[in-house]
Amino acid sequence: MTVLVVGAGFSGAVYARVLAEAGHEVRVIDKRPHLGGNAYDFTDENGVRVHAYGPHLFHTKLSHVLDWLRPFGRFLPYTHKVRARLHDGRLVPLPINLDTVNEVFATAYETPAQVSEHLARIALPIAEPRNAAEHLYAKIGQELTDLFFRPYTKKMWQMDLEEMSAAVVKRIPLRMDREDTYFASDETQIMPADGYTALFERIFEHPRIKVELSASFDKSALRDFTFCFNAMPVDEYFGCRLGELPYRSIRFHKRMEPDGPAPAAPVVNFTDAGPFTRETVWDALPNHRVRETGRRSVTKEEPCDYRDNGMERYYPVKTADGRYQTLYEEYRLLARDEPNMAFIGRCGTYQYLDMDQVINQSLAGAQRWLAQNREA
């Protein structure tokens, strides 16, 4: 069969490769001029590899996802670290751990039991948290919530913690020990040795895959294909006829600095109420210094509504009342009636997914489709 894949990010790449290997002809289009979707990276004028849409850190527990990905590149072990900058300039570990608690409360705890006891004392008795604020209050109390989560979440989502789903902040674990890596619960944390874009080039390198960049989706193209896997925003496909599915976007502010010593962590999150959420020093990531220039690149992130950033969709919005997921469900029902098309990926399925989850879902979806089409 001849299959159209709309979107050259992780979801489209997995579908394209799996279907091509199974003998199907695949045409991939992407409206952007580059591969990789939001994982796209490039070497900038300072000789540094920069992720164009913010830091992408690969982490997973899923061995089959790794088995699928590994043949397409060399990977370096990399355990990501983040520090939060307090109002007085001190940098403390994030996720909150034993050292964070000691810094904030001027305690000298040595054991996880002491930290648990402290947090149990300051946590609020909320049996069934209904939103992100209540979830955090029940775990870490008001002071830590208001320091590490309230301003950041407001900047990130333009909403108070009370309005956000707890699922969003549950991405950040709570540690009672001195563990200070961001994704410690995932066994595998790796970085592609020569960048994500090179990884995508190899995934798409197959005699039955043709990729066309700077190519927008047009419904009339569908007549040339027997099936379409579509990573475009599902509301956009239907002309937003049921209303818009909102996204947060990011404006990236890059600056150049003279090369210097390694920072405390490649990413620093800001706890203040200013417009910026975090900052990345790119050469602090492994193999990101591509050429010596004596300069380094640092990017600050300023979240905004996607309509204020050229409709660049990065983060689907998950509120405590689930109103946008309800709207997405209505689009999903419409999409079910669309012949020979399946919506995939973050924008096609309106989910806040990590890279490994996208690969996992796409592998499963592609296998399901292959099985159905073998039977047909």
Footprint of ligand UDP on this chain (CB under 6 A)?
84, 94, 148-149, 152-153, 156, 168-169, 171-172, 269
- Indicate the residue among 153 and 361 with the shorter CB distance to ligand UDP: 153
CB closer to ligand UDP out of 27 and 51: 51
Residue closer to ligand UDP, measured from CB, 168 or 231: 168
CB of 288 to ligand UDP, least distance (A): 17
- Shortest Cβ 334–ligand UDP spacing (Å): 28
Shortest reach from residue 172's CB to ligand UDP, in Å: 5
CB nearer to ligand UDP: pick between 202 and 251: 251
Q: How far is the CB of 72 from ligand UDP (least distance, A)?
A: 23
Q: Are strands 247-258 and 227-230 parallel, antiparallel or unpaired?
A: unpaired
**Closest Cα to residue 104, out of 121, 84, 124?**
84
Taking the complex as a whole, the smallest distance from the CB of residue 272 to ligand UDP amounts, in Å, to 11
Residue whose C-beta lies closest to ligand UDP: 152
**Phi and psi angles of residue 131, each rounded to the nearest 5 degrees, phi first:** -160, 180
> In whole angstroms, how close is the CB of 86 to ligand UDP at the nearest point?
11
CB atoms within 10 A of CB 291: 11
| Closest distance to ligand UDP from the beta carbon of 57 (Å) | 8
CA distance 160 to 149: 10
Closer residue to ligand UDP in complex, CB, 168/285: 168
For residue 27, give the nearest of 269, 281, 211, 187 by alpha carbon. Answer: 211
* Residue (153 or 189) nearer to ligand UDP, CB: 153
- Report the distance separating Cα 4 and Cα 228, nearest Å: 5
Q: How far apart are CA 326 and CA 335, in angstroms?
A: 14
**Which is nearer to ligand UDP, 100 or 230 (by Cβ)?**
100
